[in-house]
Structure 1
């Protein structure tokens, strides 16, 4: 799917360095660092209002960070969403954003636009190059629909899909841009346990196709079953980062989710597992 397969696992892919996002006098994200490597699934969790989606928006060009830098494959990302997508990153949204009056197949074809190399003149003349590109895009879209389990519903209107399948369609559309990194914003929101389990299996399958994944989610079981590392945001700052066991057992994380102050040694910052610190 992507050139990520040719890059050794563990190579830095996305690097956010001291990202700050202010809205007037409100600091929504306060100096967050995060690295996503090839071959990884990284989770981003935190209480409501912690700044998770704002941070995602800074990574994907919807917001220009007030301070800090975001790089993808060692290149500073352009501050517009379509250029970020063209660079090799794609995302889904907390609230599903499909074209409801278009077919399932047409929705995925929309996601191919950043990979279409034919220009306006070729499209207007509908020459051989245009028809070849159109055929390739259709084949790619159909393959992705089979991959997410929607091949038999390619001619359905998107609005007629059940909720869980609309989520799958949004993921297929994001994958249509051939990303090296996929960002998922609460992909299991509103799902039943069976749909959540299917989404977990889908994310693993995406990773196995060479696409790294960064995911925001409130379902802790989903996150801890899925992710290689988990970062916790609280009040716009990264409180803890580490493997599932490290994060689950950290008293500061427990206190943050319970809404009570942590009365420990007063330290804050990043916690890593024993293996990571060696």
Structure 2
């Protein structure tokens, strides 16, 4: 007999391949009998059956025609029941990162596009460090992920492939770290334009309502301040080839300040 531990490498979906022979109402009922659903169905549905590597596995049975013993990943089986016809070569990932969750609404398709995206990301070695987008950058300073003639904001794409579809285009993906090139999912959060503006004011990044601020940028603005995080980001962006003047204009400081940062000086050193 041939043991099939993971059907995700098959050329067809689980249901397409064996539904006519093995997937019966009795098998489906057997599957759901091993699932613990909370009263709030939007939360994780926990698999109570067999496990492999910490993830749920479901034994469907033996296919007498091929001699195969069919074991499938529990979350994959649940997803295929809700979404029949998905090719087995396409992986199914969980947005909740709970290996025992089989809630179909917590699952999503994982394609080669995602793999391509992460090849353009440089992850900081620091425990809570930013993950820098190394691909194309927009004039606004945000990462630009282009593929198949489509363009995505890199940080927004990172959020969606990790946590699921964003409800509306009007909903912003904001940065906790204030690094426009960061695509680390846990550095991102959803918010409105109002939330984003309030966050900017709270962190001192807004030119509105700040005492003594002229509203000017670049060399004409004497009130600009940079944080240690800003310094780290500026140095990294300089290494990627961005000009000192473009960064000075964006951060509201002088080109001399940026030059000093490039030479390894701190913000306090650059203003002396």
So what's the TM-score if we normalise by structure 1? 0.25
Which structure would you say has the larger Rg? 2
Q: Which protein has the bigger helix share?
A: 1
